Amino acid sequence: MRVAFLGLGIMGRAMASNLAKAGHEVTVWNRTAGKDVEGARSAASPAEAARGAEVIWLCVSDTKAVDSVLFGPQGVHESLTQGMTIVDSSTISPSATRQFAERVGAQGVDYVDAPMTGSKAGAESGTLIFIVGGEESAIEKLKPLFAATGKKFFRMGETGKGQAAKLVMNLQIALIYEGFAEALTLAAKLGVDAETLLPLIQASMVNSGVVEYKAPFVLKRDFSPNFPLRLMHKDLRLALDAAKELRVRLPGLETVEEIYDVADEDGHGDLDYAATLTLLEKWAGVEVKGVSA
């Protein structure tokens, strides 16, 4: 399949590489020049990358970036033809997603939102989980591409519902990790070692996939970005914006988002979101003891 892949960040570059390895004809573009993908052709603009493609796949940072790539100067819109499919694996506003779909739909182009979960490791190993919104006929066309880059996909409903589900997933991840980080911080202050506490957590009902995945990194004090804090912060703001549109109160998320505000201000935006722990440690005057301690 002829695929234009736009956005070669931590996740996108690995996804484009897996598409090329699976035998698809891939053309890539990235806002910052100099990022190439083995087995793929590089384009100078989104319009050039999209020309002649069957599927245009986006994986960029935020709603504004998607708007620019699609409809800005030398954007994808210049190369759209009837029968193309746009699939967006960015995490952006659900309401903006519906607006984008309406605009390209007027040109006979299908629009599928397919944000994913699985972090950097999942992108590299081709085991992402896609959270999909769109018409079933359009999704059917994308199955070989999802198979090359992920292990499962879940259709949430019509266009926009994939983004909605992704936001509520990240809401839960942020709140679960916050509880874990606060527990570790208080335990350290009380003199309970994290390596002693962790087996208890894992044997009890408070264990979770978030704890299982993040605990080894936390114990090694490895905050290199599997999922950068600034991107999680962006997603939490999107969730709060969606809640505001619908007059829904999310008091827990409002509190956690304030912690991300301070962590961003402290210069942790490019670290993994697990680095919010270091802010709690600073406030408490303790450090969670890891395997190197």
Judging by DSSP bridges, how do beta strands 55-58 and 2-6 pair with one another? parallel
Task: Identify the bridge partners of residue 130 per DSSP, sorted by sequence position.
Answer: 116, 153
Active-site positions? 166
DSSP-assigned letters across all residues of the chain? -EEEEE--SHHHHHHHHHHHHTT-EEEEE-SSTT---TTSEE-SSHHHHHTT-SEEEE--SSHHHHHHHHHSTT-GGGG--TT-EEEE-S---HHHHHHHHHHHHTTT-EEEE--EESHHHHHHHT-EEEEEES-HHHHHHHHHHHHHHEEEEEEEESTTHHHHHHHHHHHHHHHHHHHHHHHHHHHHHHT--HHHHHHHHHHSTT--HHHHHHHHHHHTT----SSBHHHHHHHHHHHHHHHHHTT---HHHHHHHHHHHHHHHTT-TTSBGGGHHHHHHHHHT-----TT-
